[in-house]
Amino acid sequence: MTNSTQPIPSFRVGMGYDVHKLVEGRDLYLGGIKIKHSLGLLGHSDADVLIHAICDALLGAANMRDIGYHFPDTSADTLDMDSKIILRKTIDLLSTKGYRVGNIDATVCAERPKINPHIPAMCKCLADIIGCDVDAVSIKATTSERMGFVGREEGMAAYAVCLIVKG
């Protein structure tokens, strides 16, 4: 039973997950940066799996549905959209409810290419878009030990959790 007299907490957490297929003929974007690789992620936008997971975490924390609701893959407006724009618009949506990002912790699951060398650039890019300190953005990388669709290099996945704060 909900008590409408209870105040909404000044901080909230959210969780996001995204997956995209790896294909030839597409550039690979992760965390807002282009990474040299023989395959890219397939999607309606640029398919930046990391940014998409982060946006879902942020939107979920604010109880604002999900990325597909705000940026549908059936819309011509979002076709080939740079995911950095999606993240910026997500931050703007959060601000309409008075929230800002406290911190983000995300993990990219991929066999190749190696993600670790790109993490500092991704953290800086995301922090710049969000308008937060780079220390508030944590990105980690892992493989799936050659198991499943990630292990077979058919796709990549990303997980993200976030804390958003009022004010």
pLDDT in tens, the chain (167 residues): 556 677 777 999 999 999 999 999 999 999 999 999 999 999 999 999 999 999 999 999 999 999 999 999 999 999 999 999 999 999 999 999 999 999 999 999 999 999 999 999 999 999 999 999 999 999 999 999 999 999 999 999 999 999 999 98
pLDDT given for residue 2 in this prediction: 57
| 18 marked ligand binding residue | yes
| 142 marked ligand binding residue | yes
d(CA 108, CA 137): 13
**Which pTM value belongs to this model?**
0.95
Give just the sign of the alpha carbon dihedral 94, 97, 99, 105: negative
| 37 marked ligand binding residue | no
| 144 marked ligand binding residue | yes
| 134 marked ligand binding residue | no
Residue 103: count other Cβ atoms within 10 Å of its Cβ: 15
| 115 marked ligand binding residue | no
| 68 marked ligand binding residue | yes
Q: Which of 21-24's residues contact partners 24+ apart within 8 Å by CB, and which partners?
A: 21/154, 21/155, 22/153, 22/154, 22/155, 22/156
Identify the CATH number of the domain defined by range 11-166. 3.30.1330.50
| 11 marked ligand binding residue | no
| 145 marked ligand binding residue | yes
The tokens describing 106, both together, are 């995300």
pLDDT given for residue 37 in this prediction: 97
**HSE, side-chain direction, 13 A CA sphere, residue 51:** 31
Largest Cα separation within the chain, whole Å, is 55
DSSP three-state, residue 130: helix
